Copies of this chain bind each other. A is one copy, B any other.
Amino acid sequence: MPRNKVKLALIENESDRKVSYKKREKGFFKKAHKLRTLCDAEIAAVIDSPYNNEPTVFPNYDVAINTFVKF
């Protein structure tokens, strides 16, 4: 976004995509954490990507299971 706008489509260049992924993953979990803390919300999230060996879970396995079971 800064320096240049980015169109909402797959980033073709693989190393650019990985760099973007790492930044956005961090931002995403930060937003999740704030939403959870500031407001009174339970949040569970899983991201599965080529850039992590294992799926990444927010905030942790147990809370995620408990939250997912609800829907």
List chain A positions with a Cβ less than 8 A from chain B.
Answer: 6, 8-11, 17-18, 20-21, 24-25, 27-28, 31-32, 34-35, 37-51, 54-55, 57, 61, 64, 67-68, 70-71
Contacts and interface: CB of A to CB of B under 8 A. Distances in A.
A39 to B, nearest CB: 4
Nearest to A24: B35
A46 B67 contact: yes
Determine how many copies of this chain the complex contains: 2
Contact of A38 (B8, B48, B67): B8
A49 B17 CA distance: 33
A6 B38 contact: yes
Contacts of A37: 8-10
